[in-house]
Amino acid sequence: MSFARVRALAVVGILIVAAAVFVIVAVVKDRQGGPAADSKKCAEGAVMANARLPRQEDVKVTIFNATNRPGTGSDVANDFLSRRFKEAKVVTAAPNPPVTKPTDVVAVIRFGPQTVGAAWLVRAYFLDQARSEFDKARQDDKVEIILGGKFRQLPTTTEVNQEIAALGNPVLPEGTCAKDDS
């Protein structure tokens, strides 16, 4: 064996030992807490919210027609049903109707803690042009849609899918924390 080969093997051996020591020291001295440790904490007074993005088959919507065009609510309900939503009902009189007709918006989406993810999905059906109203006291599993004066029609499936991708994962409203899915 030549002197150059012995020297090369010695250098490689020293590098391997140094790398092993460096890895062991890094693992032993690691003190960082992962995101899992922080996600279990919920602020005092915060409401547990379901921010999981559901499939259309799991979403229930209630539609109020606040436009000046009769039958628009029924058309939108049928459109949601044809897009495989679990339930889409049109309500003409309800215990919590819109106080005023929203003429300056496409739609208003009202939801509670159980339907944060579902409301995020419905928001994509209005191309993120709907105003969201979160009520932490709501306990139902429905998303209310109030069609506003600027509403014309629901977008195509392709446009909705692009908007879902653009919106990303649901964002929790203020005063809530994520419900544990385990």
**Average pLDDT of 104-116?**
93
Q: What is the pLDDT of residue 69?
A: 87
User: What is the full DSSP assignment across 51-110?
Assistant: -----GGG-EEEEEE-SSSTTHHHHHHHHHHHTT-SEEEE-SS-SS--SS--TTSSEEEE
* Per-residue pLDDT at 127 exceeds 80: yes
Domain residue extents for the chain: 1-30, 48-178
Q: Taking the complete model, does pTM exceed 0.85, yes or no?
A: no
Residue pointed to by tokens 């807490």? 33
Where is average pLDDT lowest: 52-61, 78-87, 119-128, 172-181? 172-181
Q: What is the pLDDT of residue 97?
A: 55
Asked if 123 and 173 touch (Cβ cutoff 8 Å), the reply is no
Residue pointed to by tokens 């051996």? 13
**Average pLDDT of 25-35?**
75
